[in-house]
Structure 1
Amino acid sequence: MKHIKLGDLDVARIGLGAMGMSHGLTGAGTDDAESIRTVHRAIDLGVTMIDTAEIYGPYTNEDLLGRALKGRRDQVVLATKFGLVSHAGAGAWTLDSSPANIRTALEGSLKRLGTDHIDLYYQHRVDPNTPIEEVVGTLAELVTEGKIRHIGLSEAGPDTIRRAHAVHPITAVQSEYSLWTRGIEDRILPVLREFGIGLVPFSPLGHGFLTGTVRNENDFEEGDFRRGNPRFTGENFRRNLALADEVQAIAADVGATPAQVAIAWLLAQGDDIAPIPGTKRVTRVEENTAADRLQLPADVLTRLSSLPPAAGDTHTEAGLRMLER
Structure 2
Amino acid sequence: MAATMFRIGGDLGVRRLGFGAMHLPTEPGPARETSLAVARRAVELGVTLIDTAYLYGGGANEELLAEALHPYPEGLLITTKVGIAPSGPSHEWRLDGRPAVLRAQVEQALRRLRVERIELLQLHRIDPETPLADQLGTLRDLQTEGKIDRIGLSEVTVDELDQARGIIDVASVQNRYNLLDREHEPVLAACEAAGIAFLPWRPVAWGESGAAAEIATVAAELGATPTQVALAWLLGHSPVILPIPGTARMDHLEENLAAEDLALSRPHRDRLDRLTAPA
Amino acid at match of 1:7: G
CA shift for structure 1 position 6: 2.9
CA shift for structure 1 position 129: 1.3
Matched, 1:194 2:197: no
CA change 1:141–1:259 in 2 (3 A) is same
Q: Which aligned pairs between 1:112-131 and structure 2 lie closer than 5 A?
A: 112-131=112-131
Percent of paired sites with the same residue: 39
Secondary structure of the corresponding residue to residue 241 of structure 2: coil
CA shift for structure 1 position 29: 8.2
2:13 maps to 10
Q: Verify the 8 A CA contact 1:85 1:96 in the aligned structure 2.
A: yes
2:167 maps to 167
User: How far apart, CA to CA, are the structure 2 residues paired with 1:62 and 1:29?
Assistant: 17
Secondary structure of the corresponding residue to residue 237 of structure 2: coil
1:204 maps to 203
Amino acid at match of 2:104: T
Q: Deviations over 1:50-84 (max 9, x none)?
A: 00111112222112112112222544111111111
User: How far apart, CA to CA, are the structure 1 residues paired with 2:166 and 2:91?
Assistant: 31
Amino acid at match of 1:190: A
Matched, 1:268 2:271: no
Secondary structure of the corresponding residue to residue 19 of structure 1: coil
Q: Which aligned pairs between 1:172-321 and structure 2 lie closer than 5 A?
A: 172-185=172-185, 187-206=186-205, 209=206, 240-308=208-276
Secondary structure of the corresponding residue to residue 175 of structure 2: strand
Q: Deviations over 1:170-228 (max 9, x none)?
A: 0000011111110111x21232233321100111111xx4xxxxxxxxxxxxxxxxxxx
User: How far apart, CA to CA, are the structure 1 residues paired with 2:75 and 2:43?
Assistant: 7
Q: Verify the 8 A CA contact 1:264 1:295 in the aligned structure 2.
A: yes
1:132 maps to 132
Q: Verify the 8 A CA contact 1:171 1:198 in the aligned structure 2.
A: yes
Amino acid at match of 1:277: P
User: How far apart, CA to CA, are the structure 2 residues paired with 1:40 and 1:104?
Assistant: 28
User: How far apart, CA to CA, are the structure 2 residues paired with 1:12 and 1:100?
Assistant: 34
CA shift for structure 1 position 30: 6.0
User: How far apart, CA to CA, are the structure 1 residues paired with 2:130 and 2:74?
Assistant: 33
Q: Verify the 8 A CA contact 2:181 2:276 in the aligned structure 1.
A: no
Bigger Cα displacement from structure 2, 126-135 vs 239-248: 239-248
Secondary structure of the corresponding residue to residue 136 of structure 1: helix
1:314 maps to none
Secondary structure of the corresponding residue to residue 142 of structure 1: helix
Amino acid at match of 1:128: P
Secondary structure of the corresponding residue to residue 171 of structure 1: strand
Q: Which runs of 5+ in 2 are unaligned?
A: none
User: How far apart, CA to CA, are the structure 1 residues paired with 2:175 and 2:238?
Assistant: 15
Q: Deviations over 1:95-133 (max 9, x none)?
A: 111111111111111222222221211111110012222
CA change 1:30–1:163 in 2 (3 A) is farther
User: How far apart, CA to CA, are the structure 1 residues paired with 2:141 and 2:74?
Assistant: 23
1:66 maps to 66
1:22 maps to 25
Amino acid at match of 1:11: V
Q: Which runs of 5+ in 1 are unaligned?
A: 210-238, 310-324
CA shift for structure 1 position 137: 1.4
Secondary structure of the corresponding residue to residue 14 of structure 2: strand
Secondary structure of the corresponding residue to residue 78 of structure 1: strand
Larger RCO, structures 1/2 (Cα 8 Å, 6+ apart): 1
TM value normalised by structure 2: 0.91
